[in-house]
Structure 1
Amino acid sequence: MKDWRFPLSVGILFGCLCTTAVTLAENRIITLGTGGSTGLYYPTGGAVCRLINQTRQDHGIRCAVRNTLGSIANLEQVSKGELDVAIAEAAQLYHDVRSNKQKTAGDRLTTLVSLYPEYLSVLVNNDANIESSNDLKGKRINIGKTGSSQRQTLGILMEGRNWSVKDFSAVLELEPEEQAAALCDRHIDATLYMVGHPSGAIKEAIRDCNSRLVSLSDQDITTLTEENSKYSKSAISGDLYGLSDTEIRTVSVNATLFSRADLPEETAYAIVKSLFTQFEDFKRMHPAFAGLTPKEMLSQPLAAPLHPGALRYYQEVGLDQFIPQE
């Protein structure tokens, strides 16, 4: 009778291979930079990481979410290699790439996928006599933290109007999660920030704090769209917040998942494959994702060159036909 047992040497070889594979899988961790816990970047990063982790047996990668201050911090940390991937406004990513901050090929930033539109949202107290961004002068306003995307965007508007911080009656530098409470407590009259809709923080402020969204003026819309081609004229539907027949005029820019160019090609490939092979699950993870389609996401103008690993996946499944040629 034949002995079907493996020779000892073969058994040791298989055992070593299995142990090594498990160890490699356990050590392949990517960090994904998001934003504050009250914004949409944080749940978006959580959703992407969840999809990656659900398919870990296919690629051996684990994804971990990191809280950050948002777009500007994410751009800096990815550029320095402190984060592997992150989310940023396309306008900020585009500006960063065009400013030639990246010194080597590996440092250059690349797009993995465009996610969802963010809207410049002007949230005000109902009793502050603010009908549009024209009326912000002389009010108590939150300008955001130094270096934040919020601060930079407001700076563009202020420059376009030849305003300075002295033109407001009070200026606060609040974290994103502090803004709604400051409105509720009447510490500020208005705050401006980029966010995807529907936003839980805005919904809470409208419901509980006598607050509302107001439109940008035509002048401010023109200022932003002429300053950066990634901003586009848009509108927020009041239906999202129980305000039927209301349309808030503003600008939008797409949130973009990005990385350095030296992110391994197989890693970039696995990230976008995990997203699109589980796309219906992704759409159910937040109301802001519900109406997204792969065609819509991939047809957005690129703020940074597409990572080769992401492009390889899109070509394999035929999604590259939607990517704009620039």
Structure 2
Amino acid sequence: MSLKNWIKTLTLALAVAGSVGTVHAQQFFRIGTGGTAGTYYPVGGMIANAISQPGKLIATAVASNGSVANINGILGGSLEAGFTQSDVAYWAYTGTGTFDGKPKAENLRLIATLYPESIHLVARKGSGIKSVADLRGKRVSMDEPGSGTLVDVRLILGAYGMTDKDIKAEYLKPNQAGDKIRDGGLDAFFFVGGAPAGAIAELASSGAGIELVPLVGPEIDKLRSEQEFFTPDTIAAGMYQGVGEIKTISVNAQMVTSAKLSDETIYDITKALYSAETRKVLDNGHAKGKLITKENAVKGAGIPFHPGAEKFYKEAGLLK
């Protein structure tokens, strides 16, 4: 073969290889969730499996510190998407609340509102804690830095005229807090997540003896009037072994991403999230899965939708 023909053949081969590589290029899609004993992690795992398309897109659920950490990961490029509380997403986008004084996260975009997250105040049985007011001077875990729970707990304590300094504050993941309650080293802990939350269910069934403290009354009503993302909520009786119905408040769990991701990628992911196959996985995989519907996805947005997600919801007749 002449040198000229050999170069032609090599050029053609490289072109074909390049086109095949493009067709089969596999994209990795990391979804920041939360601690492994919470609700974000198992739900994130279900969603990651459901939206993965071998050869095209591989999604993985990544354990993290929660809402704030996930948003920072998305903005920093270490995550493609993440779960967050709706209040935290709004604060990040507007540069207010816990993000006050920081640059606005103007590239933050919504894929879907997923389900309501109940605020749990778990107390050791016999601790005498019947209200948030009873936490004064007690050993209380407020969840770890970077979590949305910590942000909300400070608002709740503030409604009762308290700060971290008025309690013996610890900053633990819910499973670690559960272990300390079981061992007698903690009086109570907060957790924000879809019920049932793994760490609390495990603690309740271990025979350790827990109570869920209601979040009701004039202080909570005033807080809700000031922070409208808090909504009344009920944790059903029997959701945790030996625990009756409890009135509390909740925020929404959302799945967010960056405006920098392509419209096609986010459209395909949103479409896969609400496919018939995914429906079966969500309905059978977790109690909160049944609430992850395309109808609920467009409620309580707070921040702009990613154009790819918006396209899907418009096609479904859910957005104008």
TM over 0.5: yes
Match of 2:227 in 1: 228
> What is the rounded CA distance, in whole Å, between the counterparts of 2:160 and 2:188 in structure 1?
17
CA shift for structure 1 position 195: 1.2
Match of 1:127 in 2: 126
SS of the equivalent of 2:143 reads: coil
> What is the rounded CA distance, in whole Å, between the counterparts of 1:291 and 1:150 in structure 2?
21
How many residue pairs align between the two structures?
Answer: 303
Match of 2:148 in 1: 149
Give the ranges of 4+ consecutive aligned residues of structure 1 lying more than 6 Å apart after TM superposition: none
Residues 91 and 229 of structure 1 are in contact (CA less than 8 Å); yes or no, is this contact kept in structure 2?
Answer: no
* Structure 1 stretch displaced more, 172-181 or 84-93: 172-181
SS of the equivalent of 1:88 reads: strand
> What is the rounded CA distance, in whole Å, between the counterparts of 1:303 and 1:274 in structure 2?
23
> What is the rounded CA distance, in whole Å, between the counterparts of 1:314 and 1:138 in structure 2?
49
CA shift for structure 1 position 176: 2.8
SS of the equivalent of 1:290 reads: helix
> What is the rounded CA distance, in whole Å, between the counterparts of 2:169 and 2:195 in structure 1?
26
- TM-score (norm: length of structure 1): 0.85
Cα distance change, pair 232–158 in 1 and its aligned pair in 2 (3 A)? same
User: Which letter does structure 2 place at the counterpart of 1:98?
Assistant: T
SS of the equivalent of 1:186 reads: coil
> What is the rounded CA distance, in whole Å, between the counterparts of 2:157 and 2:250 in structure 1?
18
Match of 1:285 in 2: 285
Match of 1:82 in 2: 78
Residues 221 and 250 of structure 1 are in contact (CA less than 8 Å); yes or no, is this contact kept in structure 2?
Answer: no
- TM-score (norm: length of structure 2): 0.86
47, 59, 65: which one pairs with 2:61? 65
Percent identity at matched positions?
27
Match of 1:187 in 2: 185
CA shift for structure 1 position 226: 2.9
Q: Which ranges in structure 2 are unaligned for 5 or more consecutive residues?
A: 1-8, 97-101
CA shift for structure 1 position 134: 2.7
1:139-166, Cα deviation, whole Å (9 max, x unpaired): 2111233343222212112222222334
92, 99, 106: which one pairs with 2:95? 99
CA shift for structure 1 position 19: 3.9
> What is the rounded CA distance, in whole Å, between the counterparts of 1:220 and 1:243 in structure 2?
28
User: Which letter does structure 2 place at the counterpart of 1:123?
Assistant: V
Match of 1:206 in 2: 204
Cα distance change, pair 108–146 in 1 and its aligned pair in 2 (3 A)? same
Match of 1:159 in 2: 158
Match of 2:6 in 1: none
User: Which letter does structure 2 place at the counterpart of 1:197?
Assistant: A
Residues 94 and 230 of structure 1 are in contact (CA less than 8 Å); yes or no, is this contact kept in structure 2?
Answer: no
* Structure 1 stretch displaced more, 253-262 or 309-318: 309-318
Residues 32 and 86 of structure 1 are in contact (CA less than 8 Å); yes or no, is this contact kept in structure 2?
Answer: yes
User: Which letter does structure 2 place at the counterpart of 1:233?
Assistant: P
> What is the rounded CA distance, in whole Å, between the counterparts of 1:219 and 1:147 in structure 2?
29
Q: Which ranges in structure 1 are unaligned for 5 or more consecutive residues?
A: 1-7, 322-326
